[in-house]
Amino acid sequence: MTRDEEREIERQCSRLIALYANLNDAGDWDAVAALYVEEGRMARPSDPDNWIEGRSAILEAFRARSPRKGRHICSNIVIDVIDENHARSECALTLFSEGAAPKVGSFHDIFVRSPDGWRFAERRGSTAY
């Protein structure tokens, strides 16, 4: 793999992180769930040891949430390319929600190249404070 190919993977995975935050804030749960591979899994920052497994279960978990206004800010994104089909990352997360104190945490992600492009295989959040 060339350095240019590696940079392109980093760019696409970084875009996926930003897109996830924007779609989440817009409440577009179908589009958020579509960012996962079919067998993907996620753990919310507020419950990092409770895995939600499978795209359809992820979609249902988002749909079950109470409506809220908020903004996810993801920064300090570091993508580690494993090979041409796998990457992982860590990023810092700040969540501002209406009527609540800001929350600070992180996401640890595993990405895979799928027929639909790069997708989350795993997304695990955690809260620092």
Candidates 67, 82, 85, 74; CA nearest to 123 is 74
For 46-85, the pLDDT digits (tens) are 999 999 999 999 999 999 988 889 999 999 999 999 999 9
Q: What percent of the chain has pLDDT over 70?
A: 100
CATH of domain 3-127: 3.10.450.50
Query: For residue 18, what are the CA distances in angstroms to 39, 66, 76?
Result: 21, 22, 12
Per-residue confidence at 34, pLDDT binned at 50, 70, 90? Answer: very high
- Please give the average per-residue pLDDT across 88-110, as a whole number: 96
Assess contact for 9 and 67: CB atoms under 8 A: no
Q: What percent of the chain has pLDDT over 90?
A: 95
Three-point CA angle 128, 43, 94, nearest 5°: 35
Per-residue confidence at 121, pLDDT binned at 50, 70, 90? Answer: very high
pTM of the model: 0.94
List the domain boundaries for the chain: 3-127
